[in-house]
Amino acid sequence: MKMIQVVLVDDHSIVRDGVRATLKDQKNIKIIGEASNGKDAVKLVSELEPDVVIMDIAMPEMNGIEATDLLTKKKIQSKVIILSMHDNETYVLKSVEAGAMGYLLKDVDKEEFVKAINVVASGEKYFNTTISTLLVNGYLNKVKQGELKTSEDESEGEFDLTKRERGILKMIVDGRNNREIADGLGISVRTIETHRANIMKKLKVKNAVELVKVAIEEKIV
Amino acid sequence: MKMIQVVLVDDHSIVRDGVRATLKDQKNIKIIGEASNGKDAVKLVSELEPDVVIMDIAMPEMNGIEATDLLTKKKIQSKVIILSMHDNETYVLKSVEAGAMGYLLKDVDKEEFVKAINVVASGEKYFNTTISTLLVNGYLNKVKQGELKTSEDESEGEFDLTKRERGILKMIVDGRNNREIADGLGISVRTIETHRANIMKKLKVKNAVELVKVAIEEKIV
DNA sequence: TAAAGAATATGTATTAATACGTAATTAAAA
DNA sequence: TTTTAATTACGTATTAATACATATTCTTTA
């Protein structure tokens, strides 16, 4: 069984002590170096090229996500597992964007920690079930807000426009002038102007530019 | 230890047999009913109100996501775990939106299956690490596409507009007429008209409506 | 320093758009 | 069937916008 070389990056020595204690009796995992900020981590990892880097996020000089990003950009082959107390979706997603292969919370149990290191060292991503719940809940929050927004947009989008008005507004937004719209509908240009004036009054705008912007923003058309 | 009552929903009896065999020696889990399509599932679950529903997605009459959605809407307290062969992000997200509390793939091992049922029965969501990776990869794909789109937008947004032209375009998009723009800049209305004509020529539009739309769509302003 | 690009401005002409107001006809709702 | 809402249209008046063209001055670049 191949020895997995690990570099440990955290600004709190207590955490580093804890991780060291956790891994000390793993036959195939060896901590070969430590750093306490992102900047030193990049330097150290570039030199040592460990298999796995255990990286905290919140650190002085350069945070763990930035350090991960830099390592990714320098094409260092070491695989980063973020070990963080930050349990929110944004940190997870930013980390994976930066190139992290795993994300664990600091309350992870020893067994899963070891498993994560082994999985990631083998080239697979590892995110435990807590992370799934984070991502799913984050998504549901977005949908909820999206739904609220959608309903608001729809109710605000009404604006008391008649069916005809709505149709004419659509053609205006298409970039057609009054002449073109009238010809298309087989009615008088004067009628189009009237509708146009009525629409602008209802939407409380003073010219075509504002009209188009409101129509698009409020999803009227 | 409370007995967890489970209803099993899958159109393939082989799968139902498999699940039954898997759970048969669990002291605290009991299958109290089975259905082979979404419609029957909703009816059965509404009557029996099990703690947990193991639900497939692809089924005749009504699929598992729709059935889950219906159960959620009827405020049935049973918690749904989706057991599916579909390993893509969309199904996961649609399931959780519909109210599912867990999502497992059909290759899940017995131990984890039992764990998921227990976790979900206790009111927590359960998604294993494979689902996490799915969600993360799905996000990365979106970012990748988003990045490509962004660069295209930015390069197309140039359009050879001078600094002055860009500033005037911004004010046009703000909804200000030529008079207002001229007064604000302390120059002639005739100059604004000239700039305006030049901008429209460069952007290949024929009126203000198209101008605004292009400016917004191409993120010029 | 010369050349090129950007900014400013004007002339001539046309019409499209906006504002304010009134009214008849048709369609939908009560 | 009556009432209400929507659609269609016009009169009067003003000006804002668009099109096409030319030219000077100022700023930046080579």
Per-residue pLDDT tens for A85-97?
A: 877 777 888 888 8
The residue count of chain B comes to 221
Number of DSSP helices (H) and strands (E) in chain B, helices first: 10, 6
Question: For every one of its 221 residues, what pLDDT tens digit does chain B have, with 9 covering 90 and above?
Answer: 689 999 999 888 878 888 888 888 888 999 999 988 888 888 899 889 999 999 998 777 678 888 898 888 888 889 999 998 877 787 888 888 888 999 998 888 888 899 999 999 998 889 888 888 888 877 777 666 644 333 333 334 456 888 899 889 988 998 889 998 998 888 899 999 999 999 998 888 889 998 998 888 776 76
Per-residue flag: B200 CB under 7 A of strand D: yes
List residues bridging with A8 in a β-sheet.
Answer: A34, A54
> CA nearest A207 in B: which residue?
B175
Domain locations along chain B: 4-130, 163-217
Per-residue flag: B170 CB under 7 A of strand C: no
Query: Which CATH class for the B4-130 domain?
Result: alpha beta
CA distance B33 to chain A (A): 28
Interface confidence: ipTM more than 0.85: no
According to CATH, the topology of domain A4-131 is: Rossmann fold (3.40.50)
Å separating the CA of residue B11 from the C1' of nucleotide D10: 69
Q: Report how far Cα B166 is from the mean position of its chain's Cα atoms.
A: 37
Give CA separation, B139 vs A62, A84, A92, B125, B129, in Å. 25, 20, 11, 20, 15
- Which two three-digit tokens encode residue A157? 């989008």
Architecture in CATH of B163-217: Orthogonal Bundle (1.10)
